[in-house]
Amino acid sequence: EVKPEVYEAHKFKPEPNLAKRAEHYFSENMRVRKGLKAWASGDLRAFGELMTASGLSSIKNYECGTIYIFCFLVALLCL
């Protein structure tokens, strides 16, 4: 297990594709912790923003998804 502070100190050293995936992993862990607090306190707006950020990071940093998922996310952001 890599601690977040170790990742932050070395995040630009890996090959670019691995660096993007590591960025997604660590930012996703942070979003999950914040999401638990937002959900528990009933802050659905913050929870929704974290979910949106998760989807965008999955597409941008982890390079997963399909054109349909991307279009769906864009449509949701335009509401």
| Distance between CA atoms of residues 32 and 38, nearest Å | 10
Tokens of 73: 């996310």
What lies within 8 Å, CB to CB, of 13 at 6+ separation is 19
What pLDDT score does 18 carry? 84
Summarize pLDDT for 7-53 with one digit per residue, the tens: 888 777 778 788 889 899 999 999 999 999 999 999 999 999 999 89
What pLDDT score does 33 carry? 97
pLDDT top residue among 78 and 11? 78
